[in-house]
Amino acid sequence: MELEKQQQQQPPEMIRRAEQLVEAMMAGRDASHDAWHAYRVRDLALSLAREEGLQDTNNLQIVELAALLHDIGDYKYTKDFVEDTGIVEKFLEEVEVEEGKREKILSIIKGMGFKHEVSGVAYVDSSLEFGVVQDADRLDAIGAIGIARCFTYGGSKNRVLHDPAIVLRQELSKEKYMNKDENQTTINHFHEKLFKLKDLMKTKAGKRRAEKRHKFMKDYVNEFYEEWSGRA
């Protein structure tokens, strides 16, 4: 009986292989976009999905695979700063994910980035599967972990913490947002992206969780400015 229980708790072969791919492809990255990020997004996405009433096994599998694999081809870590889903596409074929599921998983991955909404144009996928995966990724970008990830990534790019002379970029376009050669600061990233994510959540469950994380992050940045200026 105990052996049977343990076997039931083991992840399906497809998920196990996806985890192996995540660890292999994301090894060596800074901790803002490592395998632990993918696992947190997976766990958040499944939790949000169940909270939103998504129970179908096939749909939950789409959510789990999309969440796990979403950052493998992240443009921030590719040679030419171009999004690349080729590795994910090949993997999904190798593990024999049926065509309809493959297309849905790839659609979620290709459309979930902030770069698609930075100029105020929302992505067209209104499915619950898309919503919970995108919300999960954005929840991991805010709150306590979001703060840690933001400074980790900034440090990996040798960005200064804050420079009052470097003004916030206004009316960002997709191209301008993706331009990583432009002089930026880590604190400015809170204003240009992270503070906006709460209002971009797609699901009720995501919105509820974002409130607490957003407040924590706002309080932190306010304290940062107090200490920077010598007032605290």
Tally of structural domains, the chain: 1
pLDDT of residue 210: 98
The parent domain of residue 14 ranges over 2-112+120-228
Q: What's the token pair of residue 162?
A: 């804050």
| Residue that the structure tokens 């420079």 belong to | 163
For the record, the structure tokens of 111 come out as: 């459309």
Spans of the chain, pLDDT less than 70: 1-10, 81, 119-124, 179-181
CA–CA separation, 42 and 136 (whole Å) = 8
The CATH number that applies at residue 188 is 1.10.3210.50
* Nearest one of 77, 211, 89, 75 to 143, comparing CA atoms: 211
Q: What is the pLDDT of residue 124?
A: 64
Q: How many CB atoms lie within 10 A of CB 75?
A: 14
Q: Given this model, what pLDDT does residue 118 score? A: 74
pLDDT at 10: 58
